Amino acid sequence: MKDSLMALGMFLMGILVGVSGWLPVDALPADLTEWLLYALVVQIGVELGAGGNLRRIAGSFSLRTLVLPLATITGTLAFTAVAGMVLGGWSLADYMAVGSGMGYYSLSSVLIIDMKSDAMGVSTATQLGVLAVMVNIIREMTALVCGPWLARVFGRYAPTAAAGVTSMDVTLPMIVRSTGQEMFPIALMHGMVLEVSVPLLVTLFAGL
């Protein structure tokens, strides 16, 4: 609990400092987050390698690891559909296209703007693309900040499912830290399957 609260506190403090303008935008190196992510990946990688469990971890790759990405896709689409019906404003297919991003904000927004521009005009399509960026950034941040809490309440697969595509890169260190090294191959496979499925799903729903 302490780790989750600390993570949330740090994230909110960062937003507050950024919005308030206490620190100039260029006070920190532009690629600081990238280098911190690399530093985190190196630490997690060395920990994994030095842990002596590599053979057991590699052995846990199986067809069963495909069940989790399928569950993530099904759960995300089902609940996004319900949210779309309640919220209104956009069509159900538009909401499904946005939700299908599964954390992959760059690709999903570009695909949505590209595919929707002819049907709804560039301006409206761009708004939907911006919504896709927002939704998928919030998903990634929620997975990063709430991962340890989700693992405790909903079990070891929950942080991976919440992370979506990012379970294979940005949120992978957090997943391994909060759920154990055994989740490493499952999170990796999960991210890879979703990375393939995102363009297919976004294209499918944006084309409806």
Q: In the 8-state DSSP scheme, what is residue 29?
A: -
Q: One-letter amino acid identity for 30?
A: A
Q: Where are the alpha helices (DSSP H) in the chain?
A: 2-20, 32-50, 54-59, 67-87, 92-99, 105-120, 122-154, 158-163, 172-179, 183-206
Among 111, 115, 150, 183, binds other proteins (CB under 8 A): 150
Cβ nearer to other proteins, comparing 7 with 115: 7
Nearest distance from residue 203's CB to other proteins, in Å?
Answer: 18
Residues 69-108 that bind other proteins (CB under 8 A): 71-72, 74-80, 82-84, 86-87, 89, 95, 98-99, 102
Question: Are the C-beta atoms of residues 72 and 158 closer than 8 Å to each other?
Answer: no
Question: Are the C-beta atoms of residues 61 and 185 closer than 8 Å to each other?
Answer: yes
Among 109, 115, 116, 173, binds other proteins (CB under 8 A): 173
Decide if residue 201 touches other proteins (CB under 8 A): no
Decide if residue 180 touches other proteins (CB under 8 A): no
Residues 15-54 that bind other proteins (CB under 8 A): 15-21, 23, 25, 28, 32-33, 36-52, 54
